[in-house]
Structure 1
Amino acid sequence: MISITNNEFKQLTEFIHREYGIHLKEEKKALVTGRLYQVLAKLQMTSFKQYYEYIVKDPTGKAVQTLVDKITTNHTFFMREAEHFTFLKHQVLPFLASTVHDKDLRIWSAGCSSGEEPYTLAMILDDFFGREKPHWDTKVLATDISSQILEKASKGVYPNEDIAVLPANWRINYFQGYDKEHSIIQDQLKKEVIFRRFNLMNTAFPFKKKFHVIFCRNVMIYFDNETKHQLVERFYDHLMPGGYLFIGHSESIPRESTRFTYIRPAVYRKE
């Protein structure tokens, strides 16, 4: 296996941090080497220095996208941190249903990974609005930096054992059989989720309208404190007054340095 020197690791991880905010510590050296070994072998490269030069000089962007796909961790599951979804349905959505007068409800799943979170949000919205749903625009924007994981998410195919945690009526209404061991999201629900590749490190967010709800859970654990602070500030600027930010329970926002109001564990609001 091709080994990575300290200087090569520093050069590569500084690039990843600068471009994508992901902070890879020294103890991640073996992980980085293991995940990239086959890439280097396929390119017939003999060093990580050679690989780094290839990445930064590639005009197509495909090389850096392969790097992102390899080094990002995309672990999630249906109903992860389920109390967030309960709070959304029973507290947030009733408030928004009575205050969003143009019926244009904007929800963003940032760092959506393999799609379980945005599809769950779409199911909650459909279930909550019921017969009123046709009168509302409730499409969920789902973004991630990995093209590979977005392709998987857009297909909407999941093992039956993974969707067993969902309510029975959701499994009936929003899924159909794919093969003996998998189910696929119904086309009608698929249309409610818009998948896009997006880098949260972009200093300018290209959204024309502000969001009412942003879910960015278990993403910032990979960022250093300054990167997290800057991202949270951008989230604040792109939320409507009264809008909510949901983060992971293993994450926190320092109350003394944020404009957000703490509501409950991992839930914040723009007052």
Structure 2
Amino acid sequence: MSGGEGQGMQAVWALKPLADMSDTEFHDWRVLLEDRIGMVIGEQRRSFLQANLSARMRELGVADYASYYRQVTDGPRGAVEWSTLLDRLTVQETCFFRHRPSFELLARYLPERLAQLGERPLALWSVGCSSGEEAYSLAICAAEALRATDGQVPFGVTATDISQSALNKARAGVYPARRLKNVAPELRRRYFEVQADEHYRVVPGLAARLCYARLNVLDLARAPLSGMDVIFCQNLLIYFRRWRRREILNRLAERLAPGGLLVIGVGEVVGWQHPELEPVADEQVLAFTRKG
């Protein structure tokens, strides 16, 4: 067989769909994902799970879902593969200032908050930061608020995510132009450096304001974060069961400083209340401030 024929055969094999996932296999994968990271895969997302598993299994040459399940759960070796799989299942494409009303609310909130802080640093947190666009958007808002008030208050943004690959992308701070579609031209010039390949790099002065940490939100009780002035948790809670969403939000509420702002994705939770939080009067944003 010639090299060309061999490559053709491989291409055909790569495109061949794997067998459908059995109900038992689907159940096992669902339980694994919910137990380890809280992600709920309903029947309507079965094809999403199957497609992502199949893509990774082809790369490894694994023929069936049960064998791959055993590989992923096989001790330390499985932990490495599990980390790789998580990137496929959790990292979604996003952009800067993804939900504009949320950042408009933040822009209104920050000047008053900065006036309250005195010399204490402003602390912001992007929960489920993915590849960093939300975290850098928070940093830009803070930097702009300080420019407008000639303030000298230092600030820092903590960016956490379960995916180490996503955090590495955030640290690199380089993005294609399409991710900056919501960034005003003036802000592009101030906070980004144009690269030769139609990409943009976050300027070092802004990038230095961020710190990154790998965090599973199921482990929030052990997260050493407190006294946060701003917490953004958007497009993350949709993956969890209702009771777990409330549990996560209760943990985040505990980590807000008095007067701090918590911003949640619109529609991600219904009817949640916390005795220490007051809802923000804004029809376009789901947000709360901590009393006191």
Q: Aligned letter for 2:274?
A: T
Residue 69 of structure 1: aligned partner = 87
Residue 130 of structure 1: aligned partner = 147
Q: 1:168 offset after TM fit, Å? A: 2.1
Q: 1:54 offset after TM fit, Å? A: 1.8
Residue 251 of structure 2: aligned partner = 234
- Quick one: percent identity of the two aligned structures? 27
Distance 1:75 1:180, change over 3 A: closer
Map of 1:92-171 to 2, 5 A cutoff?
A: 92-130=109-147, 135-171=152-188
Whether the 8 Å CA contact 1:74–1:149 is kept in 2: the answer is no
Q: Aligned letter for 1:4?
A: M
Is the aligned partner of 1:183 residue 2:200? yes
What value does the CA root-mean-square deviation take over the aligned residues?
A: 2.0
Distance 1:160 1:203, change over 3 A: closer
Deviates more, 1:104-113 or 1:69-78: 69-78
Q: 1:122 offset after TM fit, Å? A: 0.8
Structure 1 residue runs of 4 or more that deviate by more than 4 Å after TM superposition: 131-134
Deviates more, 1:226-235 or 1:200-209: 200-209
Deviates more, 1:204-213 or 1:23-32: 204-213
Larger Rg: 2
Residue 24 of structure 2: aligned partner = 7
Whether the 8 Å CA contact 1:79–1:117 is kept in 2: the answer is yes
Output one character per residue of 1:151-203: Cα deviation in whole Å (capped at 9) or x when no partner: 22222222224324312221111111112421111111111111221111115
User: Secondary structure at the residue paired with 2:122?
Assistant: coil
Residue 15 of structure 2: aligned partner = none
Distance 1:195 1:134, change over 3 A: farther
The number of aligned residues is 269
Instruction: Give the distance between the partners of 2:218 and 2:63, measured in 1 at CA.
Output: 31
Is the aligned partner of 1:219 residue 2:236? yes
User: Secondary structure at the residue paired with 1:207?
Assistant: coil
2:103 aligned to which of 59, 76, 85 = 85
Q: Aligned letter for 2:40?
A: H
Instruction: Give the distance between the partners of 1:30 and 1:181, measured in 2 at CA.
Output: 34
Q: 1:208 offset after TM fit, Å? A: 4.8
Instruction: Give the distance between the partners of 2:141 and 2:250, measured in 1 at CA.
Output: 27
Q: Which 5+ residue runs of structure 1 have no aligned equivalent?
A: none
Instruction: Give the distance between the partners of 1:121 and 1:127, measured in 2 at CA.
Output: 10
Q: 1:112 offset after TM fit, Å? A: 1.0
Q: 1:205 offset after TM fit, Å? A: 3.3
Q: 1:132 offset after TM fit, Å? A: 7.5
Q: Aligned letter for 2:101?
A: E
Whether the 8 Å CA contact 1:147–1:197 is kept in 2: the answer is yes
Instruction: Give the distance between the partners of 2:228 and 2:246, measured in 1 at CA.
Output: 19
User: Secondary structure at the residue paired with 1:139?
Assistant: strand
Instruction: Give the distance between the partners of 1:16 and 1:143, measured in 2 at CA.
Output: 19
Q: Aligned letter for 1:68?
A: L
User: Secondary structure at the residue paired with 2:71?
Assistant: helix
Is the aligned partner of 1:174 residue 2:194? no
Is the aligned partner of 1:194 residue 2:217? no
User: Secondary structure at the residue paired with 2:76?
Assistant: coil
Instruction: Give the distance between the partners of 2:82 and 2:151, measured in 1 at CA.
Output: 41
Q: 1:46 offset after TM fit, Å? A: 2.8
Instruction: Give the distance between the partners of 1:213 and 1:231, measured in 2 at CA.
Output: 16
